[in-house]
């Protein structure tokens, strides 16, 4: 009975060691960002415990138990080394960035808009001219008022002004509907698709679209945002995948009709520009036909080029040609 117990215990240790190695290799994944700190210490502690236990097991046991202990030692040490190596590399790169001359770093930094978790760390990046913009999302504004957000943005822009540099891009993801990262405190609006009627000429919905866009434009401008990652101009092809947890284009797309999407998106973008806010059309070359959730898996768009040009790309072309909109690329090939 004792032998069975030792066998099961060694197998459990081996499975834990394998899990540690897996987590250690993916610790810097964006999906683990909220758990990263405590996972680091958990993995570190568990791997050390397993290493000690395995060393004792190697000295104490023979044959099968000894072999299992050796495997536990190998995988535990691999996980321990991996997590320390990953963190060491991260902090080394961070040190190199802040050790680089700011005027040299500026040339590269101007190409980056970054998200953040620590505002003081973000300020340091701005002070060192390491970035050209900031992406603000829900985690950054918890329990904050419009005034709080505006004050933080003003603080960052004041640093840029003192440096004699152009303003930072302050970007948000405020589409309306399920993607409204700044609501609250900003107004929670429904998806653009809900304020237009497919049963009447789209021109009759123009006033409603402009009114909608004015709410976004005014509220974003008031707090200092100058770039919105909206609107979605992917066509609604009715693709619904139960495994799609993040993209859900069918819930975010404006319409099935490329001309309707083009007009609504253009009215939206032109209205935002009146408030000094650039819009971003997305997700080129179009995700309306893609079933895969591109946030977590590789996706392929196998639609013939001629069909894309005549259909999916119509809104992209129209908005590009008639506004100052940015274009976001989709994660599909």
For 298-307, the pLDDT digits (tens) are: 888 889 999 9
Check pLDDT > 90 for residue 67. Answer: no
How far apart are alpha carbons 80 and 47 in whole angstroms?
Answer: 6
pLDDT band (50, 70, 90) for residue 267: very high
The answer to whether the beta carbons of residues 232 and 253 sit under 8 Å apart is yes
Question: How large a percentage of the chain has pLDDT more than 70?
Answer: 97
Identify the burial level of 20 via C-beta atoms within 10 angstroms of its C-beta, where 0-12 means exposed, 13-18 middle and 19 or more buried: buried
Q: What average pLDDT does this structure show over 100-123?
A: 93
**Comparing 14-23, 254-263, 306-315, which segment has the lowest mean pLDDT?**
14-23
Q: What is the pLDDT of residue 282?
A: 98
Residue 255 contacts residue 236 (beta carbons within 8 Å): yes
Whether the pLDDT of residue 272 is over 90: the answer is yes
Provide the mean pLDDT of the chain: 92
Instruction: Output the CA–CA distances (angstroms, integers) from residue 34 to 23, 38, 40, 296, in the order listed.
Output: 14, 9, 12, 17
CA 142 to chain centre: 17
| Helix or strand run (H / E) with residue 39 | helix 36-60
DSSP H or E segment with residue 319: helix 313-322
Tokens linked to 19 = 């899990």
Q: In this model, does residue 187 exceed pLDDT 90? A: yes
The values of phi and psi at residue 289, to 5°, are -95, -5
Would you state the pLDDT for residue 54? 85
The three-state secondary structure class of 240 is coil
The number of angstroms, rounded, from the C-alpha of 154 to the middle of its chain's C-alpha atoms is 24
The b/e string for 252-290 (b: 16+ C-beta within 10 A; e otherwise) is bbbbebbebbbbbbbbbbbbbbebebbbbbbbbbbbbbb
* pLDDT per residue as tens digits for the range 29-58: 877 888 888 889 998 999 999 899 888 877
Q: Write the CA distances from 299 to 120, 166, 204, 247, 284, integer angstroms.
A: 37, 37, 37, 12, 13
pLDDT value of residue 84:
92
Copy the structure tokens of residue 162: 């003192």
| Strand order across the beta sheet in which 278-284 lies | 113-114, 133-135, 169-172, 227-228, 278-284, 326-329
pLDDT computed for residue 35 by the predictor:
84
What per-residue confidence (pLDDT) applies to 151? 98
pTM, two decimals, is 0.86
The structure tokens listed for 70 are 């050796």
């Amino acid at each position: 009975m004792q032998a069975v117990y030792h066998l099961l215990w060694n197998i459990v240790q081996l499975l834990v060691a394998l899990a540690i190695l897996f987590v250690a290799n993916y610790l810097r994944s964006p999906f683990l960002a909220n758990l990263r700190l405590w996972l680091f210490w958990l993995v570190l502690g568990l791997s050390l415990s397993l290493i000690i236990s395995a060393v004792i097991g190697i000295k104490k046991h023979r044959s099968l138990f000894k072999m299992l202990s050796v495997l536990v030692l190998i995988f535990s040490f691999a996980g321990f080394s991996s997590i320390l190596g990953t963190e060491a590399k991260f902090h080394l790169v961070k040190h190199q960035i802040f050790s680089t001359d700011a005027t040299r770093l500026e040339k590269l930094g101007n190409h980056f808009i970054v998200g953040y978790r620590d505002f003081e760390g973000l300020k340091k990046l701005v002070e060192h001219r390491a970035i050209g913009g900031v992406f603000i999302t829900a985690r950054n504004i918890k329990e904050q008022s419009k005034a709080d957000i505006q004050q933080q943005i003003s603080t960052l822009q004041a640093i840029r002004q003192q440096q004699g540099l152009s303003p930072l891009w302050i970007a948000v993801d405020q589409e309306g509907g399920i993607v409204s990262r700044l609501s609250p405190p900003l107004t929670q609006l429904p998806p653009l698709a809900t304020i237009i009627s497919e049963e009447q000429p789209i021109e009759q919905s123009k006033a409603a679209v402009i009114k909608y866009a004015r709410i976004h434009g005014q509220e974003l401008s008031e707090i200092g945002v100058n770039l919105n990652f909206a609107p979605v101009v992917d066509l609604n092809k009715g693709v619904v995948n139960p495994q799609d947890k993040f993209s859900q284009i069918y819930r975010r797309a404006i319409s099935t009709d490329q001309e309707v999407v083009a007009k609504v998106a253009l009215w939206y973008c032109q209205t935002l520009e009146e408030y000094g806010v650039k819009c971003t059309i997305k997700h080129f070359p179009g995700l309306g036909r893609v079933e895969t959730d591109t946030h977590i898996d590789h996706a392929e768009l196998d639609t013939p080029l001629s069909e894309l040009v005549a259909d999916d790309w119509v809104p992209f072309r129209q908005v590009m040609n008639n506004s100052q909109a940015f274009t976001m690329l989709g994660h599909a090939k």
